[in-house]
Amino acid sequence: MDASRYARIRELFFAIEEMPPDAQADFLRAQAGDDQELYDEIMSLLDEHDSECARIEGESAIAVSVPPMQPDLDEHDSPPGSGSSIGTHPGTESPPKGDTTRRGDSQNRTQTDADQRVGGGSAAITKHGAHRTHASPRVKQTNAAKQSSSNNQIWAKRTRNSRRRNSGWLWLAALLPTALIGWWTYRQVESMIIRSIATELKGVVDSMTLSADQFLGEKETLVESWSREPSLRSAIVELNQLAESNPPLDKLKNAKQIDQIRTQLRELSGVEDIKFVVWNDSFRTLASSIQDRRDIGKPVRPADAAYLARVMAGETVTYGPTRLTDEPGTEKPIMAVIVPIHDDSGRIIASMLVRGIGIFEEFNRIFTSIAVAGELDAYAINREGTMITESPRAISKATQGRFDLAPDQIAANLRVSDPGFLITGENAADLQRQVRPVTVAVAGAIASQPDVRTDPYMNYCGESVVGAWQWLPNRQMGVIIETTTDRAFAPARVVRFNFLLLGSLLSLTAFLAATKIARTSTAEHAAVHPLSRYDIQEQLGSGGMGVVFRANHRQLGRDAALKVLRGDRHSPEDQLRFDREARLAASLSNPHSVQIYDYGRSDQGEAYCVMEFLRGLTLQEVVARSGHQPVGRTLSILRQVCDALAEAHSMNLLHRDIKPQNVMLSLDPSVGDWAVIFDFGLAKPLEPDTSVYQTRETIWAGTPMYMAPERFRQPGVMDPRSDIYSVGCIAYYLLSGRPPFIESEPESLFALILSEHPIGIAIHRGEGIPTEVNDLIIKCMAKRPEDRYDSIVDVGRAIDQLRVKHPWTVDEARVWWGHHGGK
């Protein structure tokens, strides 16, 4: 702060000090104009300014005599117990940051007092205009008795403040044991309630899963027994033989075997209007229950081909629940069983679907009975996150107009997505459920991660619930049990209210006593701390070295990621490693590498680094939300990762921890998917500067399942092709939906990486990928570095050639982010 700036602040402060409080802010805003820093500086002075203490100190400053026993004080001394800083007293305003003029005034006043003591006479101190501080008197005083009285008032005020502080600590000392005992008791009660809720939910979801699986198993066994009945099987074998002779379509439609199949199924099931379809091994329809037989000879719908493929492989499959839009009179969802048909030699020659025997109605009744009896919400979902049973709660909400579906359209229609808000209106608008993310329960079930969640989350109605879920892989459906938090935690609310009431009464007085101290300490710390220009919003995560917060720059209004070295990682080597990460990351300028804004240490030794705040999803979250990724999208992401690594490698810098968790993906309106690499905590130069990077490395560093084999054999060897191996692992992960190697024991995992090849992507994916793409991944993940690409630039060139055949457009990216990008 220069002299003119200081003079301007002092001039405005004196002008505002005498104004009524309600007029001060408006006057200052008009005077400061666009200078927000000037406005904030003066307002902070007003907040901490004590006019009474300033008056007393000002009166003391024009002393005409000094008591003979007054102790000498230099600029570093202050009266005992005052806690004041140079030239200030409690309740008076310290000079603005960078202020030297104010300190000079204090020193001049001290020197004048010394002159008075030496001369033994009286002197008058007069301040005029700009030379007067806000602590100086407005009216000149010459009465020695008044000065003595003023000094007494200062010490009395300080004594009162000291007593208040002591009183506050006494209150805290009395409050703390009571608060700890109360908190411990409440936590125990709450813990027991939560365990009880979790046990109830786990028991119900296990029971529901077992009941649903047994019911469907019984239906499959029943239809399998029908398929083995000689007359029925013989009719299907004869019909298949007829079809293999390529007869005219009319002859196939009029085949008597179709009527024989219908008759046999009616007798076996006891259902007059039983529905069935028979397909041959070419997935063409041989027979069905449709009267006009218009579907004979036609292929199966593409969406159902996967079911027939499983059946022709010898598996019995439960089909649905789903809705048939092309069959009149089908209002309810249908469920069916598809079984293989064997000829006399045991070869599978056809598949038969049977429905109309009440499978959906009975299956739905299992969930409805549990929901009604236990005051729970119980329902099943399919792989797409669609509710496939009729939840009583969903039907009730639909009746109230909360959904854009009629009550009888809930099952096999309602996508179980998080509306993102609590629905309170009589007629809620269209929630656009097809583009919002699914609920926590559905996401966990689809990911085959059974869980019991007692931390509240939003359900499809916008209600706060707790729940449990499981996935039945052989049925390709999930079972979800939920209950509202109001019902689950009703007992805990009563206990909480009583404890909060007691705690509020005990803490009120202590809080009031400590408020002033807390404000003063916070203000003083904020005034000198280098991070005071940032508002901390929330903690984003914590790693091995530091804690990352979301912060907002006060003046610029820009979000940033603030990384602070953890309190337990302040050893010299930890600080050097933290320094290294910041310096290495700051040396990169590629837009696909995280940008560094600031770095340094506070006076207390806290190391911090301010980085670009990345919005979006990590690649791990992308796969968790939508499974394996399209080939074109994978190549697009890999190309951007290669761009970032190419710059790093050109600067002889290795990342050494490339993994899905360290690549952030977001939607850029102009280019689509935008990938950024972050976390350079393990980055290492190929030729370290021993004067800067003095960190030892005697163990493996990185995430094992994405580390190149040579990293295990020789951890200290630096080879850019190790990063290429990790890029191949990311490609494998995106295309398969799984890491290349998963093993719980570290020794076993190391052995797999060193000697085995990962399972083929097509096995995980359920479908093949282009050979040239598979070859690229195999070459990147070669066990020997010399068998990989020579450089990351070569990998980028290879990807560019493949992207011509496998594009990924901006519109495709927008569609994906619309469906899966929500929080």
Residue type for position 673: D
**Nearest C-alpha neighbor of 67 from the set 141, 144, 125, 123:** 144
Dist. CA 107–CA 604, nearest whole Å: 28
Give the three-class secondary structure for 641.
helix
289/597 Cα distance (integer angstroms): 70
146 assigned binding-site residue:
no
* Count of H-run helices and E-run strands, the chain: 25, 19
- Dihedral sign of CA atoms 816, 819, 820, 821 in order: positive
- Which H or E element spans position 256? helix 256-269
Q: Which residue is listed with tokens 């359209």?
A: 409
| Closest listed residue to residue 628, CA positions, set 787, 750, 763, 723 | 763
Whether residue 283 contacts residue 308, with contact meaning beta carbons closer than 8 Å, is answered with yes
What torsion, rounded to 10 degrees, do the Cα atoms 201, 207, 209, 215 define?
Answer: -150
**795 and 780 in contact (C-beta within 8 Å)?**
yes
Instruction: Estimate to the nearest angstrom the gap between the alpha carbon of 535 and the chain centroid.
Output: 20
- Rounded to whole angstroms, what are the CA distances from 495 to 182, 183, 193, 498? 11, 11, 11, 5
Q: What's the token pair of residue 728?
A: 């191949």
Dist CA 512 CA 53 (whole Å): 21
Q: How far is residue 266's CA from residue 149's CA, in Å, rounded to a whole number?
A: 112
User: Do the beta carbons of residue 156 and residue 487 sit within 8 Å?
Assistant: no
Cα radius of gyration rounded to whole Å, the chain:
38
The alpha carbon of residue 216 and the mean position of all alpha carbons in its chain are separated, in whole angstroms, by 37
Length of the chain: 823
563/105 Cα distance (integer angstroms) = 41
Annotated binding site: 563
- Binding-site residues for ATP sit at 563
